[in-house]
Structure 1
Amino acid sequence: MTEKFFRIRAKLFRPMGLLASVMALAVGAGVSSVQPAHAQWAVYDGAAHVQTVLIAARELQQIDNQITSLANQAQMLVNQAKDLALLPLSTLSTLQSTISQTTALLAQAQNIAYSVTSVEQQYQQAYTSISSRMSDSALFSQAQTRWQNSVGGFEDALKLQARVVGNIPSDSSAMTQLVSASQSSAGALQAAQAGNQLLALQSRQLSDVVAVLSANGRATDLERARQAATEAESAAQYEHFSQYDAYSPTSVSMFGSSGN
């Protein structure tokens, strides 16, 4: 009988889970309890034992479920921490430095600055105030000022172009770093910050384009204004020349000769 009991227990524990195994133990305990009690000191209650084992099995299952729930919550917190992690790379200081250098070049514009007030005052003095009432020296002085403005405008444009072209290597390096940081980002926040910095880099590059176009346009407009003012200056000089009396031929005697 005992050998048969152990064979039954081995068969039950082989493929079954925790609850089934507990049930098998309970049943085994119930079977063993029906043996003759002449060699036992107390009567064994098999039903109570089965109930106790079942309660313990349910509690173990609940504990296992709680452990699984806590593990899921811990993983969720880890994922949230990754999403909130800051990007370790920042190119803001480099972008601000480059913008400052470009702005400094624009502020160093020669003669006519990038200012509405400055343009109105200096343009009126050197380009639109030409009249025939001005002296030749005044006309020459204004012409020289206009020529210096044109030369300075082209020089400013060349400087700014050189500055923007010099930004290309640093822009390429920053773009490579930001793209790499975005692709290897641990969470959503890092990816978003990398994308924001890429947009900032693009914005700064667009500002460089605007600066170059403005400098080139300024140089071209100054030269066109100089050519238009030259035409007005030529008209004023012609009026000066026409004010003199026309030349009239007269006879001249030389060496006291009255004939030829």
Structure 2
Amino acid sequence: MIRIPLRRMACAPIIALALAMPVAVSPMLASPAVAAWIVYDPSNYAQNVLTAARTLEQINNQITSLQNEAQMLINQARNLASLPYSALQQIQQNVQRTQQLLNQAQNIAFNVQNIDQAFQQKYGNVSLSATDQQLIADARTRWQNTVGGLQDAMRVQAGVVGNIDANRAQMSALVGQSQGATGALQATQAGNQLLALQSQQLSDLVALLSANGRSQALIEAERTTAAEQGRVQRERFLTPGSGYQPGNAQMFHGSN
């Protein structure tokens, strides 16, 4: 029979407990280590980076597109902006002033019926039966028409020359507006007003040529009619009359 000392028997439970503790504690210590372990996948990481880069590129493209659309809207607003300057009223006033000078033509106006009537009465053929007083009166009327035509032409010339300074100011202003235009509409409107100014200048030129042509036509008409009148008067002078007719003459009255 083997005897175990009491001291060793007292230590046996403690040793057994110490040996059993690692087995019982090991599951508790192993679980957190397994849960905290991170698995690194290079291919998955690369795919995620590529996806993020593509997403960022799409966002940048969208931002650029929005910026382009905003700039396009700004340009459209500029192109649709109206020109804040108009020379139309001044141009119309210049045209009206020249037209008034033409309407104030003396004696024979710029009217077809008036011209036809005046030439039928005062110009053209001279009647052989017209009296000397009538011939003188008609010649004076033609002279007055010629002088009036020359005066009208000079008045139109003065009006056209007076428009030059106003046209110069309007042209300078319109060119400045055209050069400083912020959009297509403003540039087009400035160009249209410049064309209107050019049309007004052309109308002044037409009025000037018309007035000068009228005065020259009256001079030629007077000259032609004067030649015809001279021919008629010469013919009347050279036409033989009835001659001398003898008659009874009484020299002394009341003599026996």
Q: With structure 1 as the length reference, what TM-score do the two structures score?
A: 0.74
Query: Which residue does 1:209 correspond to in 2?
Result: 205
Query: Which residue does 1:256 correspond to in 2?
Result: none
Deviation at 1:227, TM superposition (A): 1.2
Instruction: For 1:180-219, list aligned pairs within 5 A.
Output: 180-219=176-215
Query: Which residue does 2:36 correspond to in 1?
Result: 42
Instruction: For 1:95-134, list aligned pairs within 5 A.
Output: 95-134=91-130
Query: Which residue does 1:148 correspond to in 2?
Result: 144
The one-letter code sitting in structure 2 at the alignment partner of 1:215 is A
Deviation at 1:245, TM superposition (A): 6.1
Q: Whole-Å Cα distance in 2 between the matches of residues 108 and 57 of structure 1?
A: 84
Deviation at 1:205, TM superposition (A): 0.7
Larger Rg: 2
Structure 1 vs Structure 2: percent identity of aligned residues?
A: 50
State how many pairs are aligned.
213
Query: Which residue does 2:60 correspond to in 1?
Result: 64
Q: With structure 2 as the length reference, what TM-score do the two structures score?
A: 0.75
2:124 aligned with 1:136, yes or no? no
Q: Whole-Å Cα distance in 2 between the matches of residues 145 and 211 of structure 1?
A: 25
Deviations 1:200-242 (A, max 9, x none): 1112111111111111111111011111111122222234444
The one-letter code sitting in structure 2 at the alignment partner of 1:44 is I
Deviation at 1:68, TM superposition (A): 1.0
Unaligned 5+ segments in structure 2 are 1-30, 246-256
Q: Whole-Å Cα distance in 2 between the matches of residues 217 and 104 of structure 1?
A: 18
Unaligned 5+ segments in structure 1 are 1-36, 249-260
Q: 1:78 to 1:58 in 2, by over 3 A?
A: same
The one-letter code sitting in structure 2 at the alignment partner of 1:182 is S
Deviation at 1:246, TM superposition (A): 6.5
Deviation at 1:156, TM superposition (A): 0.3
Tell me, yes or no, if the aligned pair for 2:123 and 2:222 is still in contact at 8 Å: yes
The one-letter code sitting in structure 2 at the alignment partner of 1:64 is N
Bigger relative contact order, structure 1 or 2 (CA pairs below 8 A, ≥6 apart): 2
Q: Larger deviation: 187-196 or 66-75?
A: 187-196
Deviations 1:33-69 (A, max 9, x none): xxxx976853435446665555444323211210111
CA root-mean-square deviation: 2.5
